[in-house]
Structure 1
Amino acid sequence: MVMLFTYWQKLRESQIPEEVTTLLSLSPKFSLYPHNFPHNQLYHLLAETESILKTNFKHQIQDTTRCMITNCIHNFIHKYDNCPRDPESKFIRIAQTKTRNFLKLNPNICILPADKGNRTVVMLTEEYNRKMKLLLNDTNTYKTVKSDPTNKFQTANNNIIGRLLELKLIDKQTAYNLKTYTATCPRIYGQPKAHKQNLPLRPVVPGMTSPSYNLSKYVCKIYQMSIQTKYNVRDSRSFCQYVNNITIPPQCEMISLDVISLFTNIPKELIIRDTINSWGSLRTNTNINLDLFLEIVNFCLDSSYFMFRDQYYSQIAGAAMGNPLSPILSDLIMEPLIDSVLRNICFPVHTIRKYVDDLFLIIPKDKKNEILTAFNSYHSNIQFTIEEEQNGRLAYLDMTLIRQADNSIRTEYYTKTIASGRLLNYRSIHPLSLKINIASNFISRVNDLSTNLTDTQKRNIIVQQLKLNDYPLSLINRCWNRMKTAKNIQTTHNTPAAERIYRSIPYIPMLTPHIVRILKQQYPEVCVSTRCTHTVSKFFTQIKDPVPALLKHNVIYKIPCSNCDKSYIGMTSNLLKSRLSNHQSNINKLDQLLNSGLPYTDPAIRSLREKTALISHCIDERHRFNLTETKILDFTHRKSSLSLLEMVWIYNDTSTVNKRTDVDGLNATFAGILHAIDKHRNKQQQIVNSIN
């Protein structure tokens, strides 16, 4: 049975076909059967397993493992066409097709994840844009910028890193990691707050592409090593252990306080002041002096910018949602805030604990208004809301805190009314081991956080939740019994943590589990995880502004020849526009030499042939390439896989002008696999062409 937890805004459910609602109501991480033969995933699988093999310098182990892996891939390709399709997979395939067609015919609808509760939101694109514009019109938080400031911030970032290196405050490797030449403007997007009236949006700015992202992470690490928080709780489990060992004094009650939009309201003057006050501990974890450190922090905050619908904005207040510094800066200012409030009130606070911006307090019953006023008086930007104990119960984190008759506290596992209850569905195309781990972790969580319930009550909650996610009862019972009998057993790893290598590879059903097993046997020091790339989230609307092809990096690209049917395939870890500029520069140099009267046979022209196969084709055939029609074939987040991906694409394209030496680094063991993949890809293309 499929769960449906979709929130409709100004739309009727009847407008959307049943198969579409069924598919979209699944978790965004629900993995689907590949719609077509997964040739692209196989390319990435080859490239990333090869990078794992290179971690061991013994060629015998490399060759043995490579042969075992290629044998697995050969078997998979052979079985793929003959693999039986169960009714469920057929339904999912039909639902995928209908969803794709429905969204194509209804561009006025956008599908996106909710801010909380793991829900899926369907709303009108026009309404989404209106709500985002309303957010960005807040002149106290944002201001418009005339042009893209990326180059300015990138230059400033690299200059700061250069100064740190020149002063010998960081080493060359750190400087290399912190500098960037491929930054692009971050794209803001909004996540609907489905639990609030009128469906407001929470602004999120993914800062991974911003010029100061790596520098922000570096500064964040210094803060994390230095700040000692006396009020923080690490997680729900540690808070549960703490709160179950305290007693509420007579005439006192429990309350919780929550800051309204803390990240975007963090005052910069508080950050500077509290950084100076904490410098005694910060200086022990960095060689940077205070003035330069403050300059770097200011730069990381001032470089919070983004774009929305081709308009550039700068955030003038607080820290962005998505900036690595935001969580630690909230900790930095919250500690002095609490200390100041506790000093200025005239009544005792018996208990106070904090998780990011959520506070738990035990105070005298008649002091609720005073404590709220005291916290809200600290700074006009930082305002709190209060939640009071009701009938001896208070919700905090993932628990309900329950006052007992003797004023002790016990807890129960708690989910908000907005929560969809979705975990990873058992029918998702994920490894079985992952599903078992999810079920086991959920069971352990409910058990640990429910000190007020009997085992029967806990088990009823667990069974109800997991069955809702289609987990079979036999698996639930097995995980429950294992948790009760082997709770304290911990797995050990023979390789020390410092020596382990962590890698991930694409998950392809019927193939990846065999490869993972081989790698664990042959490379015990490598911890291999899998990632699913074809998930329900692929059908979610791309609400962020698209990044132009020329501003992408770590890509495999293809340039067609203007005079024949051949093309050039290349790769670049820099921005594509920079690489194309290099190609254009070589072509311009060739044209200059020819215009000066030199023949094609002149040594000055022949020397250009050594630069790339593209310019070599221009010289040998007297042809030219159309750089404006460059097409991106593939991309990867893992730079070490880029060169092998390029060789794979060149190998399987018979119409390239690339030199034979361009694929010399491709191991001969892969030849048969690449031929089989290309055969299936051509067969698939023929089917598509016949349909069209």
Structure 2
Amino acid sequence: MATGRRNTPNNVELGGEHLKKWVINLSKHKLTKPQESILAKGLNFAPSPSKLPYEDYIIATELACRKLNNNNEATVLRSEMAGVLRSSKPPKSNITREERQAINELKNEKSVLVLPADKGKASVIMDVHEYEEKLSEMLNDKRTYETLASDPTQRYKRELVAILSRLKKDGKINRSQYDLLFPTAENIPRIYGTPTIHKPGNKARPIVDYTGTIAYQTSRALADTLSPLVGGTEHHVQNSKHLAEGLAEVMIEEEEIFNSHDVVSLFTNTPIEQTLQVIKSRLENDTTLKERTLLSVDKVLELLQFVLTTTYFLFPGTIYKQRFGAAMGSPVSPVVANLYMEFLEQKAIASAPLTCKPRLWKRYVDDILEIVQKDQVDNLTEHLNQSDPTENIKFTYEKEHEGTIPFLDTLIVRKPDGSVKLLVYRKVTHTDQYLNFNSHHPIHQKLGVIRTLFDRLNSIVTGDADKKLEETKIKEALGRCGYPNWAFKQVKMDKKQAKKPKKKKDTDIQTKGLVVIPYVEGLAEKANRIFRKHGIATAVKPNTNLCKLLVHLKDKVDPNNSTDCVYEIPYTNCNHTYVGETGRRFATRLKEHQKETMRVEKTKQNYTRQTRKQSETEQSKSDIADHAVQQNHLIRDKGLEDEGHVVGKERHNKTAKYQPLHFSSPTPRIHRHFTQLLGNA
């Protein structure tokens, strides 16, 4: 992780025509110059932190200690990290004072929303009432959605637990798999929309946030089980590189034409009952299924049917159920939609009349590229629209224009001799906005942007002259985002070095685990060296970004219903505060603490000198009860309900059980493993 001068950007161009593409104001609110300036940096822009994220580094340290399985080494690691945290300071700000103020102004402006565009990476500002009207209009589709009178979460949870318990009892899943799939989190799914500014009317594309919901882990597991079934046909396209390889030898005749078909709203129009039958047939013929799961075909389908038929969500304050189709946002939905499209395309191609049967058919999810006779496009479209037995899947089409047609991010150009050349395609709404070089990201992630764009160039573009032209476009676009010339040279040098045979280093050993830390220039590099010394690999993420700070599209979760959270509870007659974590609802964990502390306080009334001394050497179910016994400190008189509160989110509870700390003030916190870290940091 390089620091210092190498992270210094060129001057970033944030005005003119590019500002109009990067910031699209559809609201009545007039943006100030600093507000425009900060939004023009992109929603993935990370402001440098004004305070060090101590709690995240402590959480990472504790997780690393659990992976070491050596108490002495863990003590050394904590001590080293304490020293680094003690000596580190926040980095220099990468935004102006006016821009930082603009962030606060936009956060506090209740009449508008900041949204990411559905495509193109632009920042869109929309009036709240207009945004809500667009989503409400979509939810008025009675065929697809219905309102519910009550929250079905607990009922659905009981159904899922019953299925999982039966599978565990029958030996189809083991204890660890049961624990992974068990719905500890109980968030109500929430829907939000991203504006489709590339289409007339600026409608919103609906996305359901499934993270932290009862069926999320099951949906992920089903996606892993079903994914190998996708892509086994010659028509499947993985990505643009795969498409380019498939078109390398293609010749098109004079009487033929390139044409593309697009499915209208594939996810919400995927027929669930018919799709389950398609998947059942595929699973019954899958000879490798037993290598991925012990579940029978019927048991996989039982779980899948549960996930696909219990789609519900909150907006705004009203609970809706999706009556038809798959929800965009559920991990298994893309796999399910893909499998139904594979069934449909095989049926459509096999039954197409010879006159309109496409000679080439390449599909990426809901986008299809074909070569067909020029006068048969309408006939082919009519045939496709009659292919779905449920009559739900419908197609629109686009013919090649002046010898060119776009598909994915590739522009296919017909040459006079019938061969094709390929270029990089940029839509009219394409903004040429990439990660701003001044963003508080590690340098290797910024160089990764250059590397990705040049890899795409080399994978897609076919002609040498066109490659040089595309390279110029890349440098100009990234130059406007602040990328200096040395960065391009560095990427080329790294590519040359990668081709040379590598010598085995001492660091080329199997690591004991991985921890994720927020990037803070200087601190992250030091922490990485310490963790690596103890055999722990690190991955870095932005401490925050404009999207997290400004984009708030979903209904807020009641703090008592928060899951996967860090929380704190203060004591009376001392300045200590208990900090813990839970994957379940905060209110549920709070009641458990109440019960435990009431038991301890009741028991203390009957202590003798001997039983008190014995109790001080014992451990209760939580640190909060231990402290009450050992220090004779009680919970504050207001009670847990009034004083306990959520202080942050913790997403590691599915991979490791530990109690992280959250400390942002001088008040000491209680925790078994971090006494030294808190005492010295």
TM superposition score category, shorter chain reference: 0.7 to 0.9
Task: Name the residue aligned to 1:577.
Answer: 587
Matched, 1:546 2:556: yes
- 1:180 shift after superposition: 1.5
Q: How does 1:236-247 map to 2 (within 5 A)?
A: 236-247=240-251
Which consecutive unaligned segments of at least 5 residues does structure 2 have?
Answer: 1-11
Partner of 2:406: 395
Q: Following TM superposition, by how much is the alpha carbon of 1:216 offset from its aligned partner in structure 2, in angstroms? A: 1.6
Q: Quick check: 1:537 aligned with 2:556? A: no
TM-score of the superposed pair, with normalisation by structure 2: 0.86
Alpha-carbon separation, structure 2, partners of 1:211 and 1:71: 41
Shift of 1:497: 11
Q: Is the 8 A contact 1:559 1:626 kept in 2?
A: no
Letter paired with 1:600: Q
Residue 6 (1) aligns with residue 16 (2)? no
2:449 to 438, 447, 451: 438
Aligned residues: 642
Shift of 1:568: 4.6
The worse-fitting range, judged by mean Cα deviation, of 474-483 and 158-167 is: 474-483
Match of 2:219 in 1: 216
Q: CA deviation at 1:643?
A: 4.4
Q: Give the match for residue 462 of structure 2.
A: 451
Instruction: Give the Cα separation in 2 of the matches to 1:667 and 1:637.
Output: 23
Measure, in 2, the Cα distance between the counterparts of 1:590 and 1:502.
Answer: 38
Q: Name the CA distance, whole Å, in 1 between partners of 2:577 and 2:251.
A: 73
What letter matches 1:436 in structure 2?
A: L
1:600 aligns with 2:605: yes
- Is structure 2 residue 36 aligned with structure 1 residue 21? yes
Q: By how many angstroms is 1:427 displaced? A: 0.8
Instruction: State how far apart, in whole Å, the 2-side matches of 1:575 and 1:506 are.
Output: 25
Q: Structure 1 residue 45 and structure 2 residue 50: aligned?
A: no
The yes-or-no answer on 1:462 pairing with 2:474 is yes
**Counterpart of 2:549 in structure 1: which amino acid?**
F
Residue number in structure 1 paired with 2:370: 361
Find the counterpart in structure 2 of residue 634 from structure 1. Answer: 648
Aligned to 2:385: 376
Is 1:645–2:647 an aligned residue pair? no
Distance 1:587 1:517 in 2: 41
Q: Which of 496, 501, 521 is equivalent to 1:509? A: 521
Residues 554-603 of structure 1: per-residue CA shift (max 9 Å, x gap): 43333356x76756524241321112222344577689x7xxxx993368
User: Structure 1 residue 487: deviation in Å?
Assistant: 7.7
| Aligned-residue RMSD, C-alpha | 3.2
Once the two structures are superposed, the pairs formed by residues 144-223 of structure 1 within 5 Å of their partners are 144-223=147-226
Paired position in structure 1 for 2:315: 308
Rounded to whole Å, the distance in 2 between the matches of 1:52 and 1:620 is: 31
Partners of 2:497 and 2:598 lie apart in 1 by 71
Paired residue type of 2:40:
S
What's the TM-score once normalised by structure 1's chain length?
0.85
Q: In the superposition, relative to structure 1, how do residues 341 and 91 fare at CA in structure 2: closer, same or farther (>3 Å)?
A: closer
Q: Is contact 1:103–1:109 with CA below 8 Å preserved after alignment? A: no
1:518/1:293 CA distance change after superposition, 3 Å: closer
Q: Alignment partner of 1:148: what SS?
A: coil
> If each structure's helix is expressed as a fraction of its own residues, which one has the higher value?
1
Give how far 1:313 is off: 0.7
CA distance in 2, matches of 1:295, 1:575: 27
* Matched letter for residue 215 of structure 2: S
Distance change (3 Å), C-alpha of 1:56 and 1:568 = closer
Q: Deviations over 1:596-630 (max 9, x none)?
A: xx993368x98999561586599876973422322
After superposition, the Cα gap between the structure-2 partners of 1:614 and 1:527, relative to the gap in structure 1 and judged at 3 Å, is: closer
Equivalent position amino acid for 1:355 in 2:
Y
1:23 and 1:92 in contact (8 A); partners too = no
Structure 1 residues 518 and 584: CA distance shift in structure 2, 3 A: closer
Indicate conservation of the 8 Å contact 1:112/1:122, yes or no.
Answer: yes
Q: 2:361 is matched with which residue?
A: 352
- The 8 Å contact of residues 573 and 633 in structure 2, kept in 1 or not, is answered as no
Contact 2:520 2:543 in 1 (8 A): no
Deviations 1:499-545, CA, capped at 9 Å, x for gaps: 7744321111221022223433542xx44210112211133241211
Give the conservation status (yes or no) of the 8 Å contact 2:183–2:213.
Answer: no
Residues 443-482 of structure 1: per-residue CA shift (max 9 Å, x gap)? 2212321113514313211211211211012322443566
User: Pairwise mapping of residues 554-569 of structure 1 onto structure 2 (< 5 A)?
Assistant: 554-560=564-570, 568-569=577-578
> 2:116: which partner in 1?
113
Percentage of identical aligned residues: 22
Distance 1:491 1:317, change over 3 A: farther
CA distance in 2, matches of 1:171, 1:641: 17
SS in 2 for 1:229: coil
Secondary structure of 1:156 counterpart = helix
Q: Distance in 1 between matches of 2:146 and 2:98?
A: 46
Tell me, in whole angstroms, the C-alpha distance in 1 between the residues paired with 2:481 and 2:604. 72
CA distance in 2, matches of 1:265, 1:197: 21
Q: Does 1:666 align with 2:674?
A: yes
3-state DSSP class of the match of 1:111? strand
CA shift at 1:195, angstroms?
A: 0.9
Once the 2 structures are TM-superposed, how far is the Cα of residue 222 of structure 1 from its aligned partner?
1.8
Give the Cα separation in 1 of the matches to 2:116 and 2:395: 26
